[in-house]
Structure 1
Amino acid sequence: MIVFPAIDLKQGQVVRLAEGDMARATVYGDNPAAQAMLFAEAGSQYLHVVDLDGAFAGAAQNREAVEAILAVFPGYVQLGGGIRTPEAVEGWFNLGVARVVIGTAALKDPQFVRDMAKEWENGIVVAVDARDGMVATEGWAEVSDVSIVDMARRFEDAGVASLLFTDIGRDGLLKGCNIDATVELARHTDLPVIASGGVKGLDDIRLLALHAGDGIEGVITGRALYDGRLDLATAIRMAEAA
């Protein structure tokens, strides 16, 4: 199982939101590249980056910060936030992004995801972000009438690399990852699932790792790292042992 430390970008700064609310952002630094290097020094070979402003605007807003991260991080960078056109997808891959995360466009234009997954083999991740089990879009500002399982099943034969499931109600609140919902989703789809939202410590890593065989590919963690509640090197070792 992979541990993805997260760098969320807002106006060039490293932040964490509470429940996806841009008005409830905690700033953790103004040098995203330096933060990426700290994660690399702790042993991380993977990084999850989100352009929060881009998620709301529908186009890249923190390009300079992402480019700075790509220039220094020696591993694989997974990027999401407002990536909704073929040109945007191609642009990021050409810059060195390993995987692109598509959320809003996956719900509103499934064929776009299928086309991108076909063109960029093993490069597309579908974000399944949910409130109370229903898919949310537009930077989590809107909630649809589509369930997370129905959303996941739409892309089982599309060639996407994995699903990224976030329980918005837990994101950034250190309430603990929604293990049950994540495992349930993994068991109901043939696609690997990445857990996100609410990780508060090593117990979350351990419990998710126990279900690696159910299809849990990885876990994204942010605030627990920044607040010192989770040691990244220890989490990586625990996940790799699974």
Structure 2
Amino acid sequence: MQIIPAIDLKDGYAVRLKQGDMQSAKIYDKNPLNLCATFADLGAEYLHIVDLDGAIAGKPKNRVIIEQICKNSQLKIEVGGGIRNEETIKSYLDIGVSRLILGSIALQKVDFALAMAEKYPIVIGIDAKDGKVAINGWGDTQSVLAEEFAKEFLGSKIEAIVCTDISRDGMLGGININFTQAIARASGVFTIASGGLSSMEDLQILEENEIKAVIVGKAFYERKIDLQKAFEKFRVS
């Protein structure tokens, strides 16, 4: 299993939200570079970064700190939040980002997302409220069903889908297994579970349900999970 620690950036700080509510932001580190070093020491290979301000603004807002992270870390870094055009994709790749997450723009312009995946390492973010896709920092819920949207990527060149049940994000209530499996089946794409991981037991449940990747956020920050032990036990062989 790929266990991918996450850093959500707001005003340059590492924070976590509850159910995507920006007003619920809790600061965990004012220097995210500290976290990158910690994750590397614990055994991480990948790092998931979300520019929360960028997701709402529709353009990067925390690029400076992301560039610093890239320069000072050997982790493979994926970035999402506010990526709406090819210029932004190329600029992130130029500073060392390994792959880019397209969310809002992928729903609004599927053909663009598919075309970018032909040229660049692209991940699609599918975030849902009550089964329907939410965009623009999760502030706008659309009428499109997440499972139907996932079907757009059958046979495409995208590298993965990150799927999040927003109702569980930051709540430490466990991953929505059924939702994750439905997205994987509909898309035929490697699917990364996100939103709600709370314990080592949750990781065991994911493994038993053949979910091969998961993002870890609040469970780490609130010391609900020992990441070093998690990497040792569930590392992809």
**TM-score computed with the length of structure 1 as normaliser:** 0.95
Alignment counterpart, residue 127 of structure 2, candidates 105, 125, 129? 129
Alignment counterpart, residue 226 of structure 2, candidates 221, 226, 231? 231
Q: Secondary structure in 2 aligned to 1:154? A: helix
Where in structure 2 are the equivalents of 1:9-158 lying within 5 Å? 9-120=9-120, 123-158=121-156
Distance (whole Å) between structure 2 residues aligned to residue 191 and residue 181 of structure 1: 14
Q: 1:131 to 1:54 in 2, by over 3 A?
A: same
* Cα deviation digits, residues 29-75 of structure 1 (max 9, x gap): 10011111100000001100010000000001001110111112212
**Identity percentage of aligned residues:** 39
> In the TM superposition, what is the alpha-carbon distance from 1:210 to its structure 2 partner?
2.1
**Which amino acid counterpart does residue 164 of structure 2 have in structure 1?**
T
CA contact (8 A) 2:197 2:216 kept: yes
Q: Which runs of 5+ in 2 are unaligned?
A: none
CA contact (8 A) 1:5 1:46 kept: yes
Q: Secondary structure in 2 aligned to 1:234? A: helix
Q: 1:47 to 1:241 in 2, by over 3 A?
A: closer
Length, aligned pairs only: 237
> In the TM superposition, what is the alpha-carbon distance from 1:241 to its structure 2 partner?
5.6
CA contact (8 A) 2:2 2:236 kept: no
Q: Secondary structure in 2 aligned to 1:186? A: helix
Distance (whole Å) between structure 1 residues aligned to residue 178 and residue 114 of structure 2: 28
**Which amino acid counterpart does residue 240 of structure 1 have in structure 2?**
R
CA contact (8 A) 1:205 1:238 kept: no
Which segments of structure 1 move beyond 6 Å, counting only runs of 4 or more? Answer: none
CA contact (8 A) 1:193 1:217 kept: yes
Distance (whole Å) between structure 2 residues aligned to residue 217 and residue 95 of structure 1: 28
**TM-score computed with the length of structure 2 as normaliser:** 0.97
- Cα-Cα RMSD: 1.2
Distance (whole Å) between structure 2 residues aligned to residue 190 and residue 241 of structure 1: 20
Tell me the equivalent position of 2:166.
168
Q: Secondary structure in 1 aligned to 2:137? A: coil
